[in-house]
């Protein structure tokens, strides 16, 4: 279950089904960890997995088993108000841990939930990655260059993070400012730009050096280097539940999202073109999923996408779409109907970057015919 917490109350905005399992029988299931990683990575900062649901299909009673209790305790240590929902197909029960760490049934309310506003953060820089040809020659696999760059970039951002500057419409935003005036609900709104101060640049250039290391641990510059240009363009919504917070209070959230959930993933998936001395990073493509934005990484070039995560993205989008199969017989609120249509349109647009565009469009036509026409 995907949502957020405000004033100690959970708000569930959407669900994403697990389709892959490491192990699944009629009495127990272990979802595949990779699937959870894929789902949680596309979610924005501030909205995430806040609970789980599953069924006991052959039980006449709905209950929370000892296995479910253990999982709820473990998940609640990571997110204290985690909710666990169990159904037998007819009745649904909702559970949380109480103050004594005992599982307890909780009341719920069905309402059209409000999606919080977000800070729109952008980061646009061109880096100059200097790499020794000897380092390239000694790599076991070509994609290990990506890992070397990833490691170097992580260290670089960790070292300069506290000195980064924020700007909105070219006016500096101070870290003790209240963030309320900067909250947005559209991705096309004026963003807050994160800038690297010029003191961290050399001749206006951000340099990342990947040279050999001497026995002392110091990098040794080689005469035979390649200089690769890497353009990073990131745009990310950081959803905010407490409008009265100041920027420095959510600094760690911005840092986690920008570095770990955006830039490093782009570097991991980048295309290193040694001939053209260029590192091409994928772009953020946002899909409106029940009113909030989830992000898919894709290149604007079908050929590059084909050799990257094309199959994985097709599979992921198909999994999201399969959820709407269950919506055929449900009366959706007006707002949700609108979101479903926007989501389908967004997928159609994203599909233009992939060779499976026609296959996805066929799926979308089927869903529009089967579901949306029934809803309107």
Partner 1 sequence: MTSELNTIYFVNKFGSEKKQIPFPVAPNIKLMDVIPEISKKFGISSQNICIANMGGQVLTHTDLLCSVRELVEKFGNTFDIIDRGIVG
- Taking the least distance from each CB to partner 1, the nearer of 32 and 368 is 32
Cα-based torsion angle of the residue sequence 326, 328, 330, 333 in order, rounded to the nearest 10 degrees: 110
- Taking the least distance from each CB to partner 1, the nearer of 162 and 198 is 162
CB of 340 to partner 1, least distance (A): 23
CB of 331 to partner 1, least distance (A): 28
Residue bearing tokens 């233009």: 352
Dihedral sign from CA coordinates of 175, 177, 179, 181: negative
CB of 117 to partner 1, least distance (A): 14
CB of 251 to partner 1, least distance (A): 12
User: Are 75 and 50 in contact, with CB atoms under 8 Å apart?
Assistant: no
Q: Which two tokens stand for residue 281?
A: 């990073």
Helix ranges (H only) for 258-368 are 264-268, 302-306, 310-322, 334-351, 357-367
- Taking the least distance from each CB to partner 1, the nearer of 261 and 318 is 261
DSSP string, 142-208: TTHHHHHHHHHHHHHHHHHGGG-EEEETTEEEPTTSBSGGGEES-TTSPPEEEE--GGG-BTTBEEE
**CB-based contacts of 17-21 (< 8 A; 24+ apart in sequence):** 17/319, 17/322, 17/323, 19/319, 19/322
- Taking the least distance from each CB to partner 1, the nearer of 67 and 366 is 67
CB of 259 to partner 1, least distance (A): 7
- Taking the least distance from each CB to partner 1, the nearer of 120 and 371 is 120
CB of 152 to partner 1, least distance (A): 9
- Taking the least distance from each CB to partner 1, the nearer of 288 and 309 is 309
Helix H or strand E segment including 373: helix 373-375
Nearest CA to 44 out of 235, 174, 319, 223 is that of: 235
Q: Which two tokens stand for residue 172?
A: 């500096």
For the chain, report the end-to-end CA distance as a whole number of angstroms: 26
- Taking the least distance from each CB to partner 1, the nearer of 166 and 264 is 264
CB of 269 to partner 1, least distance (A): 7
CB of 75 to partner 1, least distance (A): 6
Pairing assessment for the beta strands 48-49 and 2-6 based on DSSP bridges:
antiparallel
CB of 87 to partner 1, least distance (A): 12
- Taking the least distance from each CB to partner 1, the nearer of 72 and 371 is 72
CB of 235 to partner 1, least distance (A): 17
- Taking the least distance from each CB to partner 1, the nearer of 2 and 321 is 2
Rounded Cα distance, 295 and 118, in Å: 15
- Taking the least distance from each CB to partner 1, the nearer of 257 and 284 is 257
Q: Which residues of this chain interact with partner 1, rule CB under 8 A? A: 3-5, 22, 27-31, 33-34, 36-38, 40-41, 43, 45-50, 52, 54, 65, 67-68, 70-71, 74-75, 77-79, 82, 144, 147, 150-151, 154-155, 158, 213, 217, 239, 241, 252-253, 255-257, 259-261, 264-265, 267-269, 312
Three-state secondary-structure class, residue 80? coil
Q: Cα angle vertex 170, ends 164, 172, to 5°? A: 45
* 135-to-131, 150, 264 alpha-carbon distances in Å: 7, 15, 20
Q: List CB contacts of 277: < 8 A, sequence separation 6 or more.
A: 226, 227, 228, 229
């Amino acid at each position: 279950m995907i949502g957020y917490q405000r004033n100690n109350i959970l708000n569930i905005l959407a669900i994403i089904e697990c389709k892959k399992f490491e192990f699944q029988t009629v009495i127990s299931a272990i979802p595949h960890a990779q699937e959870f990683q894929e789902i949680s990575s596309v979610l924005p900062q501030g909205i995430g997995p806040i609970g789980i649901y599953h069924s006991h299909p052959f039980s006449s009673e709905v209950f929370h088993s000892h296995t479910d209790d253990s999982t709820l305790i473990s998940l609640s240590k990571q997110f204290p108000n985690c909710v666990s929902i169990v159904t037998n197909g007819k009745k649904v029960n909702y559970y949380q841990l109480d103050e004594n760490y005992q599982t307890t049934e909780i009341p719920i309310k069905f309402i059209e939930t409000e999606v919080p506003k977000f800070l729109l953060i952008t980061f646009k820089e061109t880096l100059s990655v200097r790499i020794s040809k000897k380092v390239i020659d000694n790599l076991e696999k070509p994609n290990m260059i990506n890992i070397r760059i990833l490691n170097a970039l992580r260290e670089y951002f960790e070292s300069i993070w506290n000195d980064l500057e924020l700007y909105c419409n070219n006016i500096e935003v101070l870290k003790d400012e209240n963030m309320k005036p900067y909250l947005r609900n559209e991705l096309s709104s004026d963003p807050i730009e994160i800038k690297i101060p010029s003191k961290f640049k050399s001749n206006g250039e951000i340099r990342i050096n990947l040279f050999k290391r001497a026995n002392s641990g110091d990098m040794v510059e080689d005469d035979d280097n390649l200089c690769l240009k890497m353009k990073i363009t990131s745009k990310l919504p950081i959803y905010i539940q407490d409008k009265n917070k100041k920027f420095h209070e959510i600094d760690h959230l911005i840092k986690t999202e920008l570095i770990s959930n955006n830039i490093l993933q782009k570097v991991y998936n980048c295309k290193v073109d040694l001939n053209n001395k260029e590192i091409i990073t994928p772009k953020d493509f946002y899909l409106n999923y029940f009113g909030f934005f989830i992000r898919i990484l894709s290149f604007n070039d079908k050929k590059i996408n084909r050799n990257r995560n094309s199959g994985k993205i097709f599979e992921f989008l198909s999994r999201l779409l399969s959820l709407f199969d269950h919506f055929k017989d449900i009366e959706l609120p007006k707002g949700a109907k609108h979101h479903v249509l926007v989501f389908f349109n967004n997928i159609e647009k994203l599909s233009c970057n992939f060779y499976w565009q026609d296959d996805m469009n066929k799926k979308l036509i089927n869903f529009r015919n089967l579901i949306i026409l029934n809803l309107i």
